[in-house]
Amino acid sequence: MENLSTQKKSFVEILNEIKQKINDQTFPVGSKLPSERTLAEEFQSSRVIVREALRALEIIGVIESKVGKGTFVKSMNVSEEDKLQEISKQTSPLEIFEARFAIEPFLAEMATLHATPDDFLLMDECLQRTKGVIGDFTEFEKLDEHFHHLIAQSSKTTLLLSFFDLINKVRKETLWRTFKARSINEERMNLYYQQHLSIYEAIRERNSIKARESTLLHLKTVRLNMLGE
């Protein structure tokens, strides 16, 4: 993954530049947009940031992605300007991952020290419910968020739990959920469930190293599937 310090533009700035090129017909309606790599080079940014900008434009109907063909300009009229403004204020999925990498492995470590029998029961119940909804994105995502919250809660670190709750809140934003929905299928749900199970087992075994490593592996897997790197 590219270092954020080398990235010169945020996804909002790139979103606006692409929108401007559509408005001035540099990218006319019906035309195929350049590849993510080409756009990243033009805007001196990363492919992940460009991808975030493209997904935001797709959400509001300005562009559309056709499997195996590429991304095309659908409309030059932004009929949902309010929605565009809302998305522009949302947190970059890449930033969300960076925040999760910063605190979730440590929360899992702390859970190995402080989790109670009641915490284990709640995590086990969540995992059983998760196994039963594999294939249902909406229910699976709810239980995914809940499982990670239970780990944070069982760490007994109040301040970090408040930070985690903030991260979980932005995971409900449209941009994040769109990336997640596009990246997931039944096979990946099953993989995420198995990874959650490994994290739980490490916490229950009071194995802090395994808990941290299992959490890191899970986050890396989800990031790769969502952002492509």
pLDDT at 58: 87
Task: Report the number of distinct structural domains present in the chain.
Answer: 2
Residues 175-210: tens digit of each pLDDT: 888 889 989 999 999 999 999 999 999 999 999 999
The residue from 87, 113, 132 where one domain ends is 87
State the residue range of the domain holding 124.
93-227
Question: The domain spanning residue 136 has which CATH number?
Answer: 1.20.120.530
Residues 68-121: tens digit of each pLDDT: 889 999 887 655 555 666 677 778 888 899 999 999 999 999 999 999 999 999
Asked if 97 and 223 touch (Cβ cutoff 8 Å), the reply is yes
pLDDT at 83: 63
The residue from 37, 65, 87 where one domain ends is 87
**Do 146 and 103 share a structural domain?**
yes
pLDDT at 80: 54
**Do 204 and 157 share a structural domain?**
yes
Mean pLDDT of the chain: 89
Rounded-to-integer distance, Cα 193 and Cα 40, Å: 34
Residues 85-100: tens digit of each pLDDT: 667 777 888 889 999 9
Asked if 40 and 2 touch (Cβ cutoff 8 Å), the reply is no
The residue from 55, 71, 87 where one domain ends is 87
**Do 189 and 104 share a structural domain?**
yes
pLDDT at 225: 95
